[in-house]
Chains A and B, each alone.
Chain A
Amino acid sequence: MQKILIVGATSAIAEATARLWAARGEALFLVGRNGARLEAIAADLRVRGAVSVGCLAMDATDRAAHAAMLEAATAALGGLDVALIAHGTLPDQKACEASVELTLREIDNNGLSVVALAMLLATRFEAQGHGTLAAIGSVAGDRGRQSNYVYGAAKGMLDLFLQGLRNRLAKKGVQVLTIKPGFVDTPMTASFKKGALWAQPADIARGILRAIEQRRDVVYLPGFWRLIMAIIRHIPERIFKRLSL
């Protein structure tokens, strides 16, 4: 039985992943802003087989609350094997371009707040000599493009930070997993028209579980995004800057 903390537990990918863990009889601790929704998710996970489900309402950008949250989680779980950081928002790029304040807030939501949590978790995992720290990045973090570079910058920062953490913690037996989903059909992307490249949260969830089991470092979900992003990354800047991706 594993002891699993999920921050951003009300998000679609996190809930789908939690359901898979519940079916395996794991112990879960859910953190998110909406306490009522956390309780509804917890009830669902208990029916599906989770051995225990604790909840705590907390805003992930409230750094002062992070330490107490981690205390509560590890007390409720009796330890910690896996931490999944899954919170985030999808910035309105155009609105961000008009507001420094909004841009910095979105970078906090999607980058800095994750970094802060990752640091706390890294200390703990390093001390205990085992565990998995997983965070949801994005293919958007692989290259800055005009349609979403505020989001991309935050996720790109996360990618680099986790890469450094991975280097530091590899010798300590701790897995640091960067999850890079492509287009996923969730409430966050409700306004987008869906096409052939769009995946369902349940598909991403299965990929996350597999990546953790296989002790992967960076996983693109679905897998074809690895090839797509390799191509995108290799387009020379003088050409890419003229595209409208």
Chain B
Amino acid sequence: MTLAAWGNLPAAPAADERAWAERRAVLPAVDGTLLPYGNGRSYGDVCLNSGATLLRMRGLDRFIAFDAQSGVLVCEAGVLLADILDVFVPRGWFLPVTPGTRFVTVGGAIANDVHGKNHHRAGTFGRHVRRFELLRSDGSRRVCSPDENAEWFAASIGGLGLTGLITWVEIELKRIEGPCVVVENTRFTGLDEFFALNAAAEARHEYTVAWIDCLAATPRGIFMAGDHAEAAAAVAEARKPLTFPLTPPISPINALTLRAFNFAYYHRPLPAKAVQHYAPYFYPLDGILHWNRMYGRQGFYQYQCVLPLSARDALEDVLRSIAASGQGSFLAVLKTFGELASPGLLSFPMPGMTLALDFPNRGDATRALFERLDAIVGAAGGRLYAAKDARMSGEFFRRSYPRFNEFSGFVDPKFSSDFWRRVTK
């Protein structure tokens, strides 16, 4: 089995893939460098270590303890967020922050300091991590928290697996009454309407996000605001997930199918307010396992940027550039980040607007578009998300993450990744 990243972009495989499943064991002695690999949902190359060793962490998947009064859960770093939800939603607990897929490991969620639809209320995942144990290649183990080994804590959150291996984690779950969410959907045309809707929604709702049609001449989309529903509202979870069984030689995603899809999706009958099971609201794509295969053998890129709140013009520029290029996919998401500080040295969110889109890999054309977008984002003081990135220049990354130098001091000498080698070139 060759471990890959979610984007399926061409990449040289690791020389060695080893399972590591005993949290008290020592790290293996290897010739080259190591990198922990969770569930491979990072899009680009933060989870790859070509020509070197990947440690498969999914075997480190046991729960350790749970306090039913406080909601504090201790578990090994290879546990999936999906496992936590399966066990604890029926008992009335939810993740304090969740990204758009539940098939990521707790270790991966920390290493990328993931964020969710409630960033404006709850900040990033790292804000809800109380403690974790960090194992370094020299055999040392540190329990890290905001109060103990605090500098290691800050380096490892968003630390892309480079500061060492996270063995176990203590997080705080939050109470919910039932498994459903109440969702309000509103169509909008133009960014002004988006921002007006967004401001009103953030004040009243816990979860806010917009799907956006990236090919329309004037940006338009659907704003979805959600809240956990009370216990009485009960909707059964959908039938078993489908799976995209193989990688088609030619991707069905192209300019024609995209326009058709976006048109139909925008105009589909949309209830103003509905009660849904949590799964389709938080994890719309998890319902199709291996959906990334639909981009074909060339794979795809994800481009996710954040722009400061003041940079609305830059956001319009970015959207215009994308629309003009004719590239893109139907998976385009727009959300605003709130003021809550992210705890990691390399955490991605800043107060502002984040836009995330998939792009089929059209080679030079796609990369040329990204260069143009980088220029707009960089000039506006924004940055890109490492977890999604496969090609930004090292210079842009180092420039846009002011604590990069500070972080470098915490990288374990025996740990590395394709991403790290790329951005430190």
Q: Closest chain A residue to B87 by CB distance?
A: A48
Query: Are the C-beta atoms of A43 and B63 separated by less than 8 Å?
Result: yes
Could you tell me the dominant secondary structure of chain A's interface residues? helix
Interface centre among B21, B59, B62, B65 (most CB of A within 10 A): B62
Partner of A43, one of B19, B64, B73, B87: B64
Query: Are the C-beta atoms of B19 and A40 separated by less than 8 Å?
Result: no
- The answer for the CA separation of A226 and B218 in the assembled complex, in Å, is 59
- The answer for the CA separation of A36 and B65 in the assembled complex, in Å, is 16
Query: Are the C-beta atoms of A187 and B19 separated by less than 8 Å?
Result: yes
B1 at the interface (CB under 8 A from A): yes
B401 at the interface (CB under 8 A from A): no
Contacts of A235 in B (CB 8 A): none
Q: Closest chain B residue to A49 by CB distance?
A: B87
Q: Closest chain A residue to B22 by CB distance?
A: A37
Query: Are the C-beta atoms of B19 and A47 separated by less than 8 Å?
Result: no
Query: Are the C-beta atoms of B1 and A194 separated by less than 8 Å?
Result: yes
Partner of B87, one of A23, A36, A40, A194: A23
A190 in contact with B19 given A47-B87, A49-B87 (CB within 8 Å): yes
Contact residues of A between 23 and 53, Cβ < 8 Å to B: 23, 36-37, 40-41, 43-44, 47-49
Q: Closest chain B residue to A198 by CB distance?
A: B1
B195 at the interface (CB under 8 A from A): no
Query: Are the C-beta atoms of A43 and B62 separated by less than 8 Å?
Result: yes
B66 at the interface (CB under 8 A from A): yes
Sorting the interface of chain A by its residue count into under 10, 10 to 19, 20 to 34 or 35 or more gives 10 to 19
- The answer for the CA separation of A80 and B24 in the assembled complex, in Å, is 33
Contacts of A43 in B (CB 8 A): 62-65
Query: Are the C-beta atoms of B62 and A41 separated by less than 8 Å?
Result: yes
Contacts of B73 in A (CB 8 A): 47
| Mask of A169-198 contacts with B, CB within 8 angstroms, 1/0 | 000000000000000000100100010000
Query: Are the C-beta atoms of A47 and B63 separated by less than 8 Å?
Result: yes
Q: Closest chain B residue to A40 by CB distance?
A: B62
Query: Count of chain B residues with Cβ under 8 Å from any Cβ of A?
Result: 15
- The answer for the CA separation of A47 and B62 in the assembled complex, in Å, is 9
Query: Are the C-beta atoms of A48 and B63 separated by less than 8 Å?
Result: yes
Q: Closest chain B residue to A44 by CB distance?
A: B62
- The answer for the CA separation of A37 and B24 in the assembled complex, in Å, is 10
A44 in contact with B87 given A187-B19, A190-B19, A194-B1 (CB within 8 Å): no
Contacts of B62 in A (CB 8 A): 40-41, 43-44
- Separation in Å of the B4 CB from the closest CB of chain A? 15
- The answer for the CA separation of A43 and B75 in the assembled complex, in Å, is 10
- The answer for the CA separation of A187 and B64 in the assembled complex, in Å, is 21
| Mask of B44-66 contacts with A, CB within 8 angstroms, 1/0 | 00000000000000010011111
Contacts of A40 in B (CB 8 A): 23, 62, 64
A47 in contact with B1 given A23-B87, A187-B19 (CB within 8 Å): no
- Separation in Å of the A153 CB from the closest CB of chain B? 29
Contacts of A190 in B (CB 8 A): 19
- Separation in Å of the B46 CB from the closest CB of chain A? 25
Contacts of A23 in B (CB 8 A): 87
Contact residues of B between 247 and 294, Cβ < 8 Å to A: none
- Separation in Å of the B198 CB from the closest CB of chain A? 39
Partner of A47, one of B22, B59, B64: B64
Q: Closest chain A residue to B86 by CB distance?
A: A23
Contacts of A187 in B (CB 8 A): 19, 21, 59
A44 in contact with B19 given A23-B87, A49-B87, A194-B1 (CB within 8 Å): no
Q: Closest chain A residue to B91 by CB distance?
A: A49
- The answer for the CA separation of A69 and B63 in the assembled complex, in Å, is 26
- The answer for the CA separation of A122 and B361 in the assembled complex, in Å, is 62
Interface centre among A37, A47, A49, A190 (most CB of B within 10 A): A47
Contact residues of A between 190 and 226, Cβ < 8 Å to B: 190, 194
- Separation in Å of the B127 CB from the closest CB of chain A? 23
| Mask of B64-90 contacts with A, CB within 8 angstroms, 1/0 | 111000000101000000000001000
Interface centre among A41, A44, A187, A190 (most CB of B within 10 A): A44
Q: Closest chain B residue to A187 by CB distance?
A: B19
- The answer for the CA separation of A185 and B26 in the assembled complex, in Å, is 24
- The answer for the CA separation of A41 and B24 in the assembled complex, in Å, is 14
- Which of B's residues lie within 8 Å of A, judged by CB? 1, 19, 21-24, 59, 62-66, 73, 75, 87
- For the complex with contacts A40-B62, A47-B63, 17 further pairs of A-B residues with Cβ separation under 8 Å are A36-B24, A37-B22, A40-B64, A43-B62, A44-B62, A44-B63, A44-B64, A47-B65, A47-B66, A47-B73, A47-B87, A48-B63, A48-B87, A49-B87, A187-B19, A187-B59, A194-B1
What would be 5 A-B contacts, judged by CB atoms less than 8 Å apart?
A37-B22, A41-B62, A47-B66, A47-B75, A187-B59
The 5 closest A-B pairs by CB, nearest first: A47-B63, A44-B62, A44-B63, A47-B66, A43-B64
